[in-house]
Structure 1
Amino acid sequence: MNRAEFAARIDHTVLGPETTWDDVKAVLDAADTHGMNACIPPCYVAEAAEYAPDVTLVSVCGFPHGQAAPETKEFEAERAWQDGADEIDVVLNVGRLRSGDTEAVAEELACVVAAVPLPVKVIVEAPLLEEAELRTACELAAEADAAFVKTATGFSDGGATVADVRVMTEYLPVKASGGIGSSEDAVAMLEAGAERIGASSGVELVEGYENGAF
């Protein structure tokens, strides 16, 4: 994999609570320059689609805790699509999952996936889950016809781990996200089977990457 191919696997991310339009523009500029995707807050998607039409735009719904009403998540996904998003990352309701209400989780994910003609990645918050719960979350995402499962939001304890990525790849393509701060971290996730990397340090990842095979 050369540097351009590696960069295309990176979702350069800015999702903090104080994110400004200038912050988003900086991420879009970097993504355009280096050939990365950009993962941005939903409130900026329409502006971003106009500002950087050649950048693949990822946005989020139910972010960061996943506890919005299912109808709210569905609306958020639809609005992001209408505003110009190319992909949606939705946060699974971990509380429902851990309490055993898998039917509610399944219905919610299926509604979000069906609401938009876009790839939907399900953020399972793997650091909060036991392995059996992680497997259940991945099964539900697959049953809902999601395109990916994603390790974490980065807003709870922990981030992506090689062990979690390996489990998750048994079910769907994986976006490894949370705590990935170097090209070495990213390479470890790709070697474990991840297809996509989410990181706020996308430029550092790309600039530090040396050609490899995955």
Structure 2
Amino acid sequence: MDRETLAARIDHTVLGPTTTRADVLSVVDDAEAHGMNVCIPPCYVADARDHASDDRTIATVIGFPHGTQATSVKVAAAERAHADGADELDLVIPIGRLKGGDHEAVSAEIAAVNDATPLPVKVIIETPVLTDAEKHAACEAAADADAAMVKTATGFTDGGATVPDVSLMSEYLPVKASGGVGTYADAAAMFDAGAVRIGASSGVDIVASFAE
């Protein structure tokens, strides 16, 4: 893997509750300079699209960070994100429904969001709060709903991406490893475990620590 290939597999991220428009535009500038994608709050998608080059991939989040919105709200958010210029959607599942055993409702919601737009959907399953059995169930629900990827975590619970979780998830769909990935060594471990994408607020540090 060369530096350009690595950068193209990183979603440089800013999603905190105090994120400003200036923060988002700065992340876009960093992504432009290093060849990364961006993942930003939905309220700034139109701003980012206006600021970014036409070929810069812009991902945004749906149901973030807890996944507790009604399905109809998530569908409407997906449609708005598409209209505003997003290229990809990172959807938080209704974690409580999964833990309550209502796996069909989880899959149905993913399918509803997936069907709402032509954009690829990465399903955030929030591995730090799930048992292994629940991780398998979440990945099965995402695969059944024809999601594009599964993603480890939001970064807003204790814990993040781990090698065992990425390995488990990669049995079902391509994996975006997110949460706690701060260096190229961290990213390389995730790639070796089966990840195809990294989500990180430290995208610049990951690229900078890469040694060809």
TM range (shorter): over 0.9
1:24-51 alpha-carbon deviations (Å, 9 max, x no partner): 0110000001000000000000111111
5 Å matches for 1:85-104? Answer: 85-104=86-105
- Are the aligned partners of 2:104 and 2:141 in contact in 1 as well (CA < 8 Å)? no
CA distance in 1, matches of 2:119, 2:197: 16
For the residue of structure 2 that corresponds to 1:33, the secondary structure is helix
TM-superposed CA distance for 1:192, in Å, is: 0.6
TM-superposed CA distance for 1:202, in Å, is: 0.2
- Are the aligned partners of 2:177 and 2:199 in contact in 1 as well (CA < 8 Å)? yes
TM-superposed CA distance for 1:181, in Å, is: 1.1
CA distance in 2, matches of 1:124, 1:75: 20
For the residue of structure 2 that corresponds to 1:184, the secondary structure is helix
- Find the counterpart in structure 2 of residue 199 from structure 1: 200
- Find the counterpart in structure 2 of residue 181 from structure 1: 182
Q: Percent identity?
A: 62
For the residue of structure 2 that corresponds to 1:88, the secondary structure is strand
- Are the aligned partners of 2:49 and 2:85 in contact in 1 as well (CA < 8 Å)? yes
Query: RMSD over aligned Cα, in angstroms?
Result: 0.6
Number of aligned residue pairs: give it.
Answer: 211
Q: TM-score, normalised by structure 2?
A: 0.98
- Find the counterpart in structure 2 of residue 2 from structure 1: 2
Tell me which amino acid in the other structure corresponds to 1:42. P
Structure 2, unmatched stretches of 5+, are none
- Find the counterpart in structure 2 of residue 108 from structure 1: 109
For the residue of structure 2 that corresponds to 1:19, the secondary structure is coil
5 Å matches for 1:30-45? Answer: 30-45=30-45
CA distance in 1, matches of 2:157, 2:73: 21
Tell me which amino acid in the other structure corresponds to 1:32. E
CA distance in 2, matches of 1:20, 1:162: 32
CA distance in 1, matches of 2:163, 2:94: 23
Tell me which amino acid in the other structure corresponds to 1:62. G
Q: TM-score, normalised by structure 1?
A: 0.97
TM-superposed CA distance for 1:103, in Å, is: 1.6
TM-superposed CA distance for 1:111, in Å, is: 0.1
1:136 aligns with 2:159: no
1:110-166 alpha-carbon deviations (Å, 9 max, x no partner): 100000101100000011111111000000000000000000000011100000000
Tell me which amino acid in the other structure corresponds to 1:19. T
- Find the counterpart in structure 2 of residue 153 from structure 1: 154
Structure 1, unmatched stretches of 5+, are none
TM-superposed CA distance for 1:74, in Å, is: 0.6
CA distance in 2, matches of 1:148, 1:180: 18
For the residue of structure 2 that corresponds to 1:204, the secondary structure is helix
For the residue of structure 2 that corresponds to 1:96, the secondary structure is helix
CA distance in 2, matches of 1:75, 1:166: 33
For the residue of structure 1 that corresponds to 2:160, the secondary structure is coil
CA distance in 1, matches of 2:16, 2:35: 22
CA distance in 1, matches of 2:121, 2:51: 23
TM-superposed CA distance for 1:4, in Å, is: 0.4
* Structure 1 segments (4+ residues) deviating >6 Å: none
